[in-house]
Amino acid sequence: MAALLRRSKNLFKQWNNHVDISLGPCRSMASKVQVGFIGLGNMGKPMAKNLLNNGYPLIATDIFPESCKELQGLGAQILDSPAEVAENVDRIITMLPSSPNVIDVYTGPNGILRKVRKGSLLIDSSTIDPSVSKEMAAAAEKMGAVFMDAPVSGGVGAASSGKLTFMVGGAKEEFAAAKELLSCMGSNVVYCGQVGTGQSAKICNNMLLAIGMIGTAETMNLGIRLGLDPKLLAKILNMSSGRCWSSDTYNPVPGVMEGVPSANNYQGGFGTTLMAKDLGLAQNTASNTKTPIPLGSLAHQIYRMMCARGYASKDFSSVFQFLREEESGQ
């Protein structure tokens, strides 16, 4: 029956697309099917709001009751556990901090898979180990459900404005249905391949990002000590082969750019501890696949040292500050 529901829903979507194409994939005056949402943290809450704003009735849950209240005020129905959510919908999005949480929310005693409807589409936007994504997919398949991994790039700001990028892994024939929902929360929804490849793409990007950021911080610091003006050096790098996102979009040196964490004492942005977590995932997948990642490993260790030295909650571009000589007297 769930499969039937899904089929009718898809027909419905086609009709929507037909009459309402100018409003984009998420807009429709017609009523929409209920969606479950589990994990209402800093990222999950604005994502859930965007689903509500796009007309999707929401059934949500979170271990922190206070996180649920705000969504309830906006019209979401709140239930007590993932299992109860799973009983009531056939599309669920999860957004959780780490692998153990995902394992618990899917396979724990009150987990989704205890009560999942056959034919349900389960989309996990957490950033976790791809091997856990594969395990969850296998467990879901046994229950007749479909699991996809769809981690995001972009922070709280992008989550609020619906401008996230989703990297999606899983059965290709389910991608259209996943994209319909994800498009309400993001501006880019990229299909990456089989289950786990969304996580893999995310992890790869963040590893290269970390390397580029530390490299930029080292380079800018060296150049400044050699007598170069930091703005001029950034300009030269950005017109040359040293150019990277960290040099041209998110420069870690205070005074070089505006509107980035380095212009605000490294407040906001993407915390060093989160980067260290993602690099831990990269290291794990590399160890498991016996892939050498010398710079990625060292980047992991540097962010780990920073966490040990008081930088855990600063933006990851604060590596510039970490490498720089301390002021006298310290």
Site string for a second copy, 230-269 (x = CB under 8 A): --xx--xx-xxxxxxxxx-xx-------------------
Q: Can you say whether residue 144 is alpha, beta or left, with left for phi > 0 and alpha for psi between -120 and 50 degrees?
A: left
Are 136 and 199 within 8 A, CB to CB?
Answer: no
49 is annotated as an active-site residue: no
Residue closer to a second copy, measured from CB, 12 or 245? 245
Tell me how far apart the alpha carbons of residues 200 and 169 are, in angstroms, rounded to a whole number: 9
> What is the distance, to the nearest Å, from the Cα of residue 281 to the centroid of all Cα atoms in its chain?
14
Q: Active-site residue among 32, 49, 179, 202?
A: 202
Candidates 41, 97, 215, 268; binder of a second copy (CB under 8 A) is 215
Q: Please state the closest distance from residue 48 (CB atom) to a second copy, in A.
A: 24
- Please tell me whether residue 317 binds a second copy under the rule CB under 8 A: no
Q: Do 94 and 76 meet the contact criterion of CB atoms below 8 Å apart?
A: no
How many angstroms separate the CA atoms of 131 and 99, rounded? 10
Site string for a second copy, 146-175 (x = CB under 8 A): -------x-----------x-x--------
Q: Which stretch binds a second copy (CB under 8 A): 82-90, 115-123, 142-150, 302-310?
A: 302-310
Instruction: Candidates 9-17, 18-26, 62-70, 320-328: pick the segment binding a second copy (CB under 8 A).
Output: 320-328
Q: Note whether 188 binds a second copy by CB under 8 A.
A: yes
Q: Given candidates 85, 86, 136, 211, which one binds a second copy under the rule CB under 8 A?
A: 211
Q: Which of residues 54-83 bind a second copy (CB under 8 A)?
A: none
* 95, 136, 224, 252, 299 from 99: Cα distances, Å: 11, 10, 41, 30, 22
Of 149, 144, 183, 185, which is closest to residue 167 (Cα–Cα)? 149
| 201 contacts a second copy (rule: CB under 8 A) | yes
Q: How many other CB atoms sit within 10 Å of the CB of residue 179?
A: 18
Enumerate residues 6+ apart whose C-beta is below 8 A from 232. Answer: none
**Where in 35-54 is the site for a second copy (CB under 8 A)?**
none
Q: How far is the CB of 39 from a second copy (least distance, A)?
A: 22
Question: Residue 263: helix, strand or coil by DSSP?
Answer: helix
| Site membership for a second copy, residue 324 (CB under 8 A) | yes
88 binds a second copy (CB under 8 A): no
Query: Hey, which residues are catalytic here?
Result: 202
